[in-house]
Amino acid sequence: MEDKKHDIDFFLKNEHFVKWVHNPTEAGNVFWEKWLEANPKDKQSISTAKSIIEKSAFKAEKISSEKKDEILKNILKVPNNKEGRKKNTKAKNGKLLKNVIWIASAAAIFALVITIYPLIKSTNNPAILTKENMASVIEVATNRGEQKTVLLPDSTIVVLNAESKLVYPSAFNSISRNVGVMGEAYFKVTHNPDKKFTVSTNGIKTIVHGTTFNIRSYPEMEFYTVALESGSVAVETLDKINGKSSFFIQPNEKIDIQKNFKKVEINKYDKVDYFGWKDGVLVFEDCGLTEFIAKIERWYNVDISVVGNTNGPWKINGMFKKQSIENVMKSLEFARKIKYRMDNNQITIYINN
């Protein structure tokens, strides 16, 4: 072994190193310890490559160790159907996606303001009506790569994820507390049994008295999700689903509502998947390619373009805790065997399949 520095790719392409990371053995431990003794300059490259391979294993699943290598090769997979985009074309322009998302976002926020305004003026009590007329509508928004914490008039805490918006009145009335949100937000609602708290988002209302929950409703997502951490909530829809327009969930349950109100699912969830973002954990859960790219763009404030065959819905699962964009892209390159190029905040992904 020569005393020279090896780059990260050297280890990512080393079959023995990859197998050792996934299934450490005593012999492997001795070998790589000796390697580091002979190649001390490789310490950083080995550490980074090891981290990338571990992250490429993505979220833990109840699987046998024998299947880990097979799963690693299929972390990012494209099923053989012809849905999606045309072959050998430039599948997506980052700036175009950004414009589409923000046009949809603007429409959503406009709808939320329209929803909140009548609620503010809906009481027949003259004293309350006067107070509500005096209340102004406040809008708080986050940019890509940014999070904000907002304290509402009733001391409710709201944490906004990147590219999200919160709309609320400067003063709540004595009957209810109504706010609107677009994107993703975590709520820690101040308990008040006499004054229900309502969150409106894209035709869905989440009604609580005092609880903690997460709402995710980005425009590119097929399903809007409410994940409940504590307390209880009722989720109401504009249109009935299976004859119902109101659904109740308990702690550790989430409800997924399809955009077109054709489907609703209530399931248990992994807490880090829906609350980890507040602690710097980037999670992908069965993301399609469009959703995956939008999430990366929001999280790291980059623009991504894709060149190549993107046919079929991608199924992407993964978890990265406080990782750089370089390490995330290295993981994608390693797992999916794609190529990419970074130029400041511009990233191009090349798919050759």
Beta strands 157-160 and 196-201 are unpaired
Clarify whether residues 35 and 172 are in a common domain. no
Clarify whether residues 259 and 156 are in a common domain. yes
- Give residue-wise pLDDT tens across range 8-27: 777 777 877 887 887 788 77
pLDDT score of 219 more than 50: yes
Q: Of 210, 243, 275, which residue sits at a domain end?
A: 275
- Give residue-wise pLDDT tens across range 269-314: 989 989 999 999 998 877 777 888 899 999 999 999 988 877 765 7
**Structural domain that includes position 286:** 76-86+280-351
Q: Is residue 51 in some structural domain?
A: yes
**Domains of the chain: total:** 3
Clarify whether residues 323 and 233 are in a common domain. no
Clarify whether residues 39 and 81 are in a common domain. no
Clarify whether residues 284 and 335 are in a common domain. yes
The answer to whether the CB of 55 falls within 8 A of the CB of 319 is: yes
Clarify whether residues 247 and 110 are in a common domain. yes
Residue 205 is predicted with a pLDDT of 92
pLDDT score of 153 more than 50: yes
The band of 55, judged by pLDDT with boundaries at 50, 70 and 90, is low
- Give residue-wise pLDDT tens across range 226-264: 999 999 899 998 788 877 889 999 999 999 999 878 899
Angle separating helix axes 325-336 and 289-300, nearest 10 degrees: 160
For 267, the enclosing helix (H) or strand (E) is strand 264-268
The band of 185, judged by pLDDT with boundaries at 50, 70 and 90, is very high
Measured CA angle at 273 (ends 272, 278), to 5 deg: 60
For residues 143-158, give the mean pLDDT.
94
Q: Is residue 65 in some structural domain?
A: no
**Residue 55: closest CA among 260, 286, 257, 324:** 324
Beta strands 89-92 and 157-160 are unpaired
Clarify whether residues 284 and 271 are in a common domain. no
Clarify whether residues 28 and 108 are in a common domain. no
pTM: 0.65
Q: Which residues have CB under 8 Å from 280's CB, separation 6+? A: 321, 322
Count CA atoms within 13 Å of residue 110 on its CB side. 6
Clarify whether residues 18 and 131 are in a common domain. no
Tell me the C-alpha distance between 211 and 232, whole Å.
7
149 by Cβ neighbours in 10 Å (0-12 / 13-18 / 19+) ranks as exposed
Clarify whether residues 110 and 176 are in a common domain. yes
For residues 129-134, give the mean pLDDT.
41
